[in-house]
Amino acid sequence: MLVVVFWLQAVLAVAGTLTGLWLAVADGGRLDSLAVGLAVVALGIAALLWAFGRAIRRGKTWFRGPAITLELISIAAVISSWNDLDPLIAIAILATALAAGVLMFVPAVLTATTNPARGRGAYPSDE
């Protein structure tokens, strides 16, 4: 389920990027540096979310910290710009960020993404 949420967020980021670029071209007929810069950032976030989904499917443990950070930043950004966003877009971003944040702390996900070496004494203590 968490994989689906991450990949849905990636699709939303790409759709938002394409919509923003289309609106920028339709509005003034040209792309300015701000539109291109925002598009690059949004596509980078989409690639990161896609990588998180792949990491989950492969049973990797590295994604959890960056994913939690990205979700918290997404929630803060949506809340701070709530009045400037279309309500449907704001709700979609907030709902997927909250869903991913909650799903990352479900016991099954924590068990699957915790490094098994921790429980076997792979981290030596001071002797």
Q: Report the mean per-residue pLDDT for the chain.
A: 85
pLDDT computed for residue 27 by the predictor: 72
* pLDDT tens figures, 101-123: 999 998 888 887 776 665 555 55
Residue 2 in this model has a pLDDT that exceeds 60:
yes
Cα 19 to the chain's mean position, in Å?
Answer: 19
Residue 22 in this model has a pLDDT that exceeds 90:
no
Tell me how far apart the alpha carbons of residues 75 and 96 are, in angstroms, rounded to a whole number: 9
The alpha helices in 1-127, defined as continuous H runs, are 2-28, 33-57, 64-80, 87-103, 107-113
